Amino acid sequence: MTATITDSIAQRRVSASEFVRERAAALDLGETDTRIDVSKLGELGLFGLGCQGGPVAEMVAVIEDVAAESLSAGFSAWAHRMALEYVVRGPAAVQAKYQAKLESGAAVGVTAMAAGLKYVAGLGEVALVATEVDGGGLQISGPIHWASNVFDDALIVLCARSADSTKTYVAIIEASAPGITVRPASQLLALNSTASTSLVLDAVHIPAENIIGTDLTEFVKGVRPTFLLLQTAFCSGISRTSVEESAKCLGGLGEGFVDEHAELAVELAALRDRLGRFAADTTSASARELIQLRLDGSRLAMAATRLEVTLKGGAGYSMKSPTNRRFREAAFLPVQSPSEGQLRWELARSS
C-alpha cells in the first residue's frame, strides 16, 4: 500500500513539474499569474501532504520540484501551503470552513504572518490591532506591509494584537471582506505574477469562527519548522536547476569554473541531505539548525544562479532566458521574510 501511495505521489509530482515548466516563461512575462499553478497542484492533491501532523518530506519535495521550474510558482505554492498549515492547526470550525478550499486550490491562501515571526523573535510589535466585539469576534485595523498571493478571491491568514499588547490572535479572512484595501502592486525585479503587495485593514470584522488561535508565540513556534523547511525547499529547487545547467557549460572558457561548480554541487547535496532529514522528523532539528538551513539555502541559490548566468554569457543576460529569470528570482531570497538580516540576527543571539 505504501509503495502504491508513494508511486502515485511521484507521478503527480512529475505532472506538476511539467505543468509549471510550460508556464514559467509566461509567468515571468506577466502574461498569467500563479493562481493557475496553485489550482493545478490542488487538483493533483498535493497540498495536503504532511498536513495532519505527519512528516513534511513529501511536501518539501513538491515545493522543490516546482521551484526548480519556476521560483514564482514555488513561492506561491509555499505561501498557499502555509495558509493551509495554519488552518489545520486551528479549531474544528476553521477547518470545516476553509480546509477543503485550500487543499483543493479552489481558493488561494495568503500567509500574512511576517510580523508575527518578527514579534516572536523580538524584533518589534505586530502592526494589526484587534478589538474584541460582542459574540466573540474581532474588529481589526492596521497595515499588512507585505503579502503574496493577494488575489481578489484569496484567503488571508494574519496576526493581530490587542491595543495594550496583552492579547494576540491568529485569524483568517477573505481578501474581499469590507474594510480591506489592497494597494496597487509594485513592479518587482521578478515574481510579478505572485500578486505581492501591501494591504490596509480598516475596522475589518472577523467572526469568532475565523479565529485560528489566541497565543501568537506558541502558534509561531509550532508552525515555524514547516515554514522554514518549505522555504528552504524552494531555495534548493532553484539551486538544483542552476547547478545542473552550469554543469553543461564547463568546457572551453568554462573550465576555469570547474572547481567553483564542484563546490556548489557539494553544498547543494549537503543542503538537500539536511533538508530531507529535518523534513522527515522536524523534532530532530533545533531552532538554530532550521534558521541556519534557511540561510544556507538562500545563499546557495544566489551563488548557484550567479554562476549559471556567468557561464551562459550573453544568453544568460537576455531577459527572456530561463537563466536570467532564475538569476532575478533568486535576488528576492535575501529580502524575503525572514530576511537574511533577520536570520543572521537570530543566529547571533542563539549562539
Which range (147-151, 156-160, 167-171, 189-193) has the least confidence?
A: 189-193
Domain limits, CATH 2.40.110.10, in the chain: 109-215
pLDDT digit string (tens) for 105-155? 999 999 999 999 999 999 989 999 999 998 889 999 999 999 999 999 999
Q: What is the pLDDT of residue 351?
A: 66
| 255-281: average pLDDT | 97
Which range (27-36, 286-295, 312-321) has the least confidence?
A: 312-321
Cell numbers describing residue 62: 513538491
Fold for the domain defined by 2-104: Butyryl-Coa Dehydrogenase, subunit A; domain 1 (1.10.540)
What is the chain's mean pLDDT, rounded? 94
Q: What is the pLDDT of residue 341?
A: 94
pLDDT above 70 covers a percentage of the chain that reads 98
**Residue closest to 209 by CA, chosen among 180, 172, 160, 174:** 172
Give the C-alpha separation, 275 to 283, whole Å: 13
Assign 145 to helix, strand or coil.
strand
CB of 76 closer than 8 Å to CB of 36: no
Fold for the domain defined by 217-350: Butyryl-CoA Dehydrogenase, subunit A; domain 3 (1.20.140)
Q: What is the pLDDT of residue 4?
A: 47
**DSSP, res 211:** E
pLDDT at 3 over 50: no
Domain limits, CATH 1.10.540.10, in the chain: 2-104
- Sequence-distant contacts of 6-13: CB under 8 A, at least 24 apart: 9/46, 9/49, 9/58, 12/44, 12/45, 12/46, 13/46, 13/61, 13/62, 13/65
Give the C-alpha separation, 215 to 209, whole Å: 16
| 212-217: average pLDDT | 97
Domain limits, CATH 1.20.140.10, in the chain: 217-350
Give the C-alpha separation, 54 to 56, whole Å: 6
Give the residue, 300 or 52, on which the prediction is more confident. Answer: 300
CATH architecture of the domain with range 109-215: Beta Barrel (2.40)
Cell numbers describing residue 198: 501591501
